[in-house]
Amino acid sequence: MAAGTNEIRDRLPVLTRIHVRYALRTPPGSRDTVERALTRHAGRCPTAMSLKGAVEVTWEAEVQEGEQRWQLSGSRDA
């Protein structure tokens, strides 16, 4: 799920922030791979790269890895 924030600038709505929430189920023993993919995603995502310098992108993930649950979050400033 993703949610955007618009602010009014010069009487126009401008997208300034996007927050993405991931809910993932992964197999046991995959934590390192999942963490690496999530933390590197914004730097390789064409949409995030297109918005770089204009829109702040933040994210959070709730991961069910086998029987364990854990959370991770990060950001890429505008």
pTM: predicted TM-score of the whole model, two decimal places = 0.81
> How confident is the model at residue 6, as a pLDDT?
95
- Look up tokens 């009014």; give the residue: 8
Q: CA angle 52-54-56, nearest 5°?
A: 75
Q: What percent of the chain has pLDDT over 90?
A: 77
What is residue 76's predicted lDDT score, i.e. its pLDDT? 77
Listed as ranges, residues in the chain with pLDDT below 70 are 77-78
Average pLDDT, the chain: 92
Domain around 71 = 2-76
- Residue 44: per-residue pLDDT: 85
Count of domains for the chain: 1
> Amino acid identity, residue 40?
R
Residue 8, pLDDT score:
97
